[in-house]
Amino acid sequence: MFSGTPLFPLQASTLAADVDALYFFILAVTASVAILVTVVVIYFSAKYSTRDPLEVGARIHGSIPLELAWSIIPFLVTIVIFVWSANVFFDLQRPPDQTLEIYATGKRWMWKFQHLDGQSEINELHVPAGRPVRVTFTSEDVLHSMFFPAFRTKADAIPGRYSTVWFTATAVGEHHLFCAEYCGTNHSGMVGKVIVMDPAAYESWLTGNVGGGSLAARGEQLFGDLACNTCHLREGPGPRGPSLTNKFGAAERLADGATVVVDEGYVRESILMPQAKLVAGYQPLMPTFQGLVSEENVMALVEYVKSLRVQTGAASRAQAPEEPASRTAPQENR
Amino acid sequence: MDTTMPAMAPRVTYLNHEHTVASWLLTKDHKRIGIMYLMVVTFAFFLGGLFATMIRLELATPAGDLVSSDTYNKMFTMHGVAMVFFVLIPAVPAILGNFVLPLMLGAKDVAFPKLNLLSWYIFVIGFLFTVYAMVSGGVDTGWTFYTPYSSRASNTNVVATGLGVFITGFSSILTGLNFMVTIHRMRAPGLTWFRLPLFVWAIYSTSLVQILGTPVIAITTLALAVERFLHFGIFDPALGGDPVLFQHMFWFYSHPAVYIMILPPMGAISEVIAAFSRKSIFGYSFVAFSSLAIAIFGFLVWAHHMFVSGISVYSALVFSFLTYAVAIPSAVKTFNWAATLYRGAIWLKAPMIWAISFLGLFLIGGLTGLFTAALGVDVHLHDTYFVVAHFHFIMVGGAIMGYFAGLHYWWPKMTGRMYSDIWAKVASIIVFVGFNLTFGPQFILGYLGMPRRYHVYPAEFQLLNVLSSAGASILAFGYILVGIYLVASLFYGEEAGDNPWHATGLEWTTQSPPLPHNFETQPIVTEDAYEYSRREIKVV
């Protein structure tokens, strides 16, 4: 009945071993301290125990050198842990430059993943082994948390903003996906699996599950349906709004003098709350699309904006959004 | 309680000088108020324990087969609410603090006796509100009340529970204020700050946190109620609010609240270890100032609960660093307690066994905090059973064990009766073993990735969950045993005498149970706390 009870989680990503190494280091430090103090307490309690209630102990009030020693040495040890753990944390938070992009939304009680080529799946995520994957996600209702124990990473899904997790899976197979932030009735049912495939199998999975056009193509469709393209012209600044071509990843000057780097979160915010960070030189004319566009469609629009890239001198339609090259997006270091 | 007094002339005590119900309900005597807190807190502990039992029963199997998911969610929420706000926060300050603080200071009562009674009534009203919320449908947000689930999605009694917490908070603030003024103004002649028992330093530090921290949780619950009822956008992004703001506000109180729960038991442990080692606490001033340091640093670490909640990488770095800083004074205390035992005359009576159990469990609780404070590891550990195990080691292994050590230590003073020493030792060991079996496997479960607050879990986690549930039943048995022999001591216990432990401290210089006004004459203090070595040393 209990055979196959694991005592330690599988290491299925490049960073899992780094996290585990730190974990074992802290374990070694804390276990040494725990054993030392326990032995001292038991030894003293036995050695100096008495049955005579009138006996008294030695007149010892303390020792400054000892106090300093057991303040400073633990502090130095915790500094080592702090620096090491900060390093691992930076690695967990900062994806490498070229990542496979996946979008996801959490809603009670399921995870929906959208691949750039249009495939979408629920509570399952197919990824290739050996390639960095970045999942950009939000929540449509309450807080959730996307947790991959085998990859040693998680991040809360927060309504109203984008979160990301990244990993490079190493172990082909199925691993748990959990919602780690309590979200109501069926919180413990908001689980799924991440299916790590070898790259060839992944490519054939992709081609075998083509949805209704790429995510960027769906975004382009929406861009027209919502009449975004009447103000945001493909080429050149319009009188009412800037062109979005080549905007993604660039720095934009705002009306209040600040600058902002155009990333997924900024594009999302500009669709739903256009007045929040208005671009310099434009009037606050754009209506809000809050409540009119689902988070999934916002992601399609974001992906469309990301795809609007032209090389200088090239024709504006040179890069069709359907091109599979758009699956890999350059990352600015955030 | 006083029916089996010996035939000789009955002594007047705080228990027998008046008998009517009104004499209890309208009392301004800090000792009676302490006993009244004991009643309510014990009931809340029973209630919280009942919810915990349901949780562990449900988790004995991977499927959700005992109760529905909604019921399960209410169980862990109400377990947390009952235990945090109505057991851990009041247990040591409101019960033991009320009873012994004025005695330790050589005072007749606290500085504001009427306010003290008012605090009890506010506490009871808050508790009744919460119990009403529980029986009239319950609440399912988790004790953390995270938005926007609590403000938008949950259709349970969020506001009534929040109101219960809101009301109870004022009791905490007023008690903290009362104790702080008492410590400043009511010390006996000669009882200078550095002659104070360390329990008083711990209570003083706790009062600081209660006064400064508790208003923030009041504001937070109020803001939550305003959003829920009036749809003001404070936390809900759909209304223009920020859900992470709630977490900042909630933890700005609730992390310092951890120190409200653990500092007073630490103070009780200092008393017990000094008394049963028959010597001064090693590094008195370091232990005293470490309480203050913990109270102050405790306000600067709240966002370590939020490393994966969308705070910036750099603020995570700052909060991780400060968390390590606050760990140092706790370590210093532990080392000093261990060093106190060196060349002591260690009398292994029941309170000391409870205190040594505390040391073992608090040690693990504190050290596992180094894992969760480590950013790179916490990303994995956050919201898993590792965290559940860690804070139970602090809250139950630390705070509740410390409370029991103190309760066993002062029980003869409070009741005038002695409980069975051997049963008390047996119970301590049962609780220690049961506790480790309950929460030890949860560390492994957490690192494996089992998230907390899961009604249903993958089958491969069952063995560890079964061990945990088995441990919980041993733990429950241990607590029931404590209840039995303590109650039995009231009827069958030997008379304790004024100072059964031959301990220093002004509380032991008056009779047991104490006089209604504590002391016949004003005590005068001429020496430091724990001056055992000045006593006549018995030559064998």
Is residue B6 packed enough to be buried (19+ CB in 10 Å), middle (13-18) or exposed (0-12)?
Answer: exposed
Mean pLDDT in residue range B52-60: 97
- End-to-end Cα separation, chain B, in angstroms: 39
Structure letter (DSSP) for residue B479? H
Model confidence pLDDT, tens digit, residues A186-198 = 999 999 999 999 9
Mean pLDDT in residue range B413-421: 97
Provide the sign of the torsion angle of the four alpha carbons B292, B295, B298, B300, taken in this order: negative
Backbone angles phi and psi of B88, in degrees to 5: -65, -45
CATH fold of A215-330? Cytochrome Bc1 Complex; Chain D, domain 2 (1.10.760)
Contacts A63 to B, Cβ<8 Å: 282-283
Q: How is residue A331 written in tokens?
A: 């990352």
Q: How far apart are CA B105 and CA B85, in angstroms?
A: 27
Crossing angle of helices A16-47/B350-373, nearest 10°?
A: 160
**Average pLDDT of every residue of chain B:** 94
Residue ranges of A 2-61 with Cβ closer than 8 A to chain B = 2, 4-9, 18-19, 22-23, 26-27, 29-30, 33-34, 37-38, 40-41, 44-45, 48-61
Q: How is residue B65 written in tokens?
A: 């087969």
- pLDDT given for residue A327 in this prediction: 45
Query: Does residue B84 surpass a pLDDT of 80?
Result: yes
ipTM above 0.90, yes or no: yes
Residue found under tokens 């009870």: A5
Alpha-carbon distance B150 to nearest alpha carbon in chain A (angstroms): 9
Mean pLDDT in residue range B419-426: 98
C-alpha distances (whole Å) from A319 to each of A223, A301, A314 are: 17, 17, 9
**Beta strands at A144-148 and A259-261: parallel, antiparallel or unpaired:** unpaired
C-alpha distances (whole Å) from A245 to each of A139, A317, B239 are: 28, 11, 32
Cβ distance A63 to B283 less than 8 Å, yes or no, reads yes
The domain spans of chain A are: 16-45+62-93, 98-208, 215-330
- pLDDT given for residue A166 in this prediction: 98
Structure letter (DSSP) for residue B398? I
Cβ distance B243 to A40 less than 8 Å, yes or no, reads no
Model confidence pLDDT, tens digit, residues B312-349 = 999 999 999 999 999 999 999 999 999 999 999 999 99
In single-letter form, the type of residue at position B233 comes to: G
CATH fold of A98-208? Immunoglobulin-like (2.60.40)
Given pLDDT bands bounded at 50, 70 and 90, which one contains residue B535?
Answer: low
Q: How far apart are CA B447 and CA B290, in angstroms?
A: 31
Q: Does residue B450 come out as left (phi exceeding 0), alpha (psi in the -120 to 50 range) or beta?
A: beta
Q: How far apart are CA B157 and CA B207, in angstroms?
A: 30
- Asked if A83 has any chain B CB less than 8 Å from its own CB, the reply is no
Q: How far apart are CA A157 and CA A142, in angstroms?
A: 8
- pLDDT given for residue B540 in this prediction: 34
Model confidence pLDDT, tens digit, residues A245-292 = 888 989 989 989 899 999 999 999 999 989 889 998 888 889 889 888
HSE-CB at A147 with a 13 A cutoff on CA atoms is 30
Residue ranges of A 238-267 with Cβ closer than 8 A to chain B = none
* Cβ-proximal residues to B151 (8 Å cutoff; 6+ apart), any chain: B158, B224, B227, B228, B234, B235, B236
- pLDDT given for residue B180 in this prediction: 98
Cβ(B397)–Cβ(B438) below 8 Å = no
When CB atoms are compared, the residue of A41, A85, A187 closest to B375 is A85
* Helix %, strand %, coil % of chain B (to 5): 70, 0, 30
User: What CATH number labels B28-534?
Assistant: 1.20.210.10
Contacts B345 to A, Cβ<8 Å: 48, 50, 52, 55-57
Q: How is residue B101 written in tokens?
A: 């603080």
Backbone angles phi and psi of A310, in degrees to 5: -130, 140
In single-letter form, the type of residue at position B94 comes to: A
Three-point CA angle A186, A191, A194, nearest 5°? 165
Q: How is residue B76 written in tokens?
A: 């862990």
